[in-house]
Amino acid sequence: MQLKWITYAMAFVVAVWMVGPAGADANDPPPDLAAARQAFEENLALGDSLGGRPAAQEQVDEAERLYEAAIGGARAYLLTHAREAEPHWLSGMILCGSYRPVKVPKENADDSDQMITTLARGCVSGCEEGLAEFRSALRLDNSNSNCLLDYAEAMLRCDDVTGCHQQCTSIWETKSKLSKPQIARCACLLAGCARSDDRPIEEIRWLKEALQFNSADANSTERLCQLLSEQPGISWLSYEVGRAVAVHANKLMVVHFTTDWCGWCRKLEQETYPNAVVVARLNKCVCVKVNGDRRRDLTLKYDVKGYPTTLVLHPSGHVLRTIVGYWPADAYAAELDKALKFAIE
């Protein structure tokens, strides 16, 4: 009999532990995490809408209200769900990624008005605590790819570029398990690391990867266009990435169809493309290289029958000119000029 009562008592203790603190009121359930997440998203939307401009007092007040609502809701949920990863994860996102009012020097300010209030994302004051929340979440569940990517983004926002790079490199090695949007996001974060370290070639590499998996990413396309315009020589892109850039920049697209076994292709690439006159023409366009053996879909689409073949496309995809075979630099440049007369004003 005594053993039976001991068993009942232990079961009761376990039940209380699983339900939550003894003071929890069954009629007053913890805030729904969805509400905390919504407040966080509204905070980000408010900060993004300012675009770095000074914040009016009502915007400052609203940002503070949304921040407190988001973090307050997540922490209240943690009181009764401390062993779940999601509230730690959300708290980390809020602390590292929310916009909060900060005072910054005002340009050309007089003595009476030297500071302005703006909304800054990832303020230093929240970084240490936020990253600690992420680590708590990962200790509870390290299989959530979105959580791993959020942790990497939080480190980047908190200026831990090395930590972000290591985290994303580890994720990239398992990209076969990720969805296309997750792979694109990982590549964007690696591009962000390269940008922070002022490594434009590496940043270009990762932006290309990001657009390969999400060609609709306008921010990555815009940044890639900017970087490519600053690079000497010809920057070859894949077909999907080139299409995204051509549409975004409203430029003609030059598509070079080649194969691994084509000798005349090598001659064109070694003798014609490096010519300064040809480079000057191609730099007005978006340059794409396609291996015809690997992209039969494109050779069929554009009726490519031999190599090398160069197509000059309008951003809409319409073929403006077809250049078949090897051409020396001057003749090739003249052929490009015939297409460039259709260049968009």
Token digits of residue 226: 């900017």
User: What pLDDT was estimated at residue 111?
Assistant: 58
pLDDT of residue 125 exceeding 80: no
User: What pLDDT was estimated at residue 123?
Assistant: 75
- Provide the whole-model pTM: 0.78
User: What pLDDT was estimated at residue 4?
Assistant: 46
d(CA 341, CA 345): 10
pLDDT tens digits, residue range 32-47? Answer: 799 999 999 999 999 9
pLDDT tens digits, residue range 252-286? Answer: 999 999 999 999 999 999 999 999 999 988 988 89
Q: Do domains 31-103+116-143 and 160-231 have the same CATH topology?
A: yes
Question: pLDDT higher for 70 or 104?
Answer: 70
Token digits of residue 189: 């974060």
Lowest-pLDDT range of 51-65, 115-129, 197-211: 115-129
Instruction: Print burial letters for 146-184: b (CB count within 10 Å at least 16), e (below 16).
Output: ebbbbbbbbbbbbebbebbbebbeebbeebeebeeebbb
Instruction: Give residue for tokens 């790819």.
Output: 145
Mean pLDDT along residues 21-28: 43
pLDDT tens digits, residue range 53-66? Answer: 999 999 999 999 99
State the average pLDDT for the chain: 86
Q: Which one is the CATH code of 160-231: 1.10.287, 3.90.1720, 1.10.3470, 1.25.40?
A: 1.25.40
Q: What are phi and psi of 264, to 5 degrees?
A: -70, -30
Domain boundaries, the chain: 31-103+116-143, 160-231, 233-345
User: What pLDDT was estimated at residue 122?
Assistant: 76
CB of 98 within 8 A of CB of 43?
Answer: yes
Token digits of residue 101: 């009012």
Lowest-pLDDT range of 115-119, 162-166, 167-171: 115-119
Q: Which one is the CATH code of 31-103+116-143: 3.40.1010, 1.10.10, 1.25.40, 3.40.720?
A: 1.25.40
Task: Name the H helices within 81-158.
Answer: 85-97, 124-140, 145-157
Q: Which one is the CATH code of 233-345: 3.40.50.620, 3.30.450.20, 3.40.190.10, 3.40.30.10?
A: 3.40.30.10
